[in-house]
Amino acid sequence: MPALPASGDWAIRLSWGINVTMPATATWAIAYQNPGSAYLPITGILSLTRAYTLTSLTNGVRYTVTLSAMLDGAAWLSDSVAVMPTGIRLYLPLVLR
């Protein structure tokens, strides 16, 4: 179950695909943290969802994001990625050269 992150200004945009059929009662849970803190997981995301945006993050800080397919309160599919939100100002000097 690959999670494909894309970084943005103060946000991390996640999208993912799966190669199994999800049970109708399954949901998604997203947990994320940076090295100094942990955040409450976001739970109860509908099983048909394949994208989510985490907002109010700090640019330039690395976050570990774990996406889990939940069934009866237990994770049965899970994947983690490390991503860093960035502001457009970080890209402008590269574009202007």
The pLDDT tens digits along the chain (97 residues) read 445 555 456 888 899 999 989 898 999 999 999 888 888 899 999 999 999 999 988 888 899 999 999 999 899 999 999 998 886 554 444 444 4
Q: How many helices (H) and strands (E) does the chain have?
A: 1, 8
Q: Which CATH class is domain 3-96?
A: mainly beta
Distance CA 97, CA 6 (A): 23
Q: Which one-letter DSSP state was computed for residue 23? A: P
Handedness of CA 79, 16, 12, 71 (dihedral sign): negative
The Cα-based distances of 84 to 20, 58, 61, 77 in angstroms read 29, 9, 6, 23
Residue 5 is predicted with a pLDDT of 52
What's the pLDDT score for residue 54? Answer: 92
The residue with tokens 């899970």 is 78
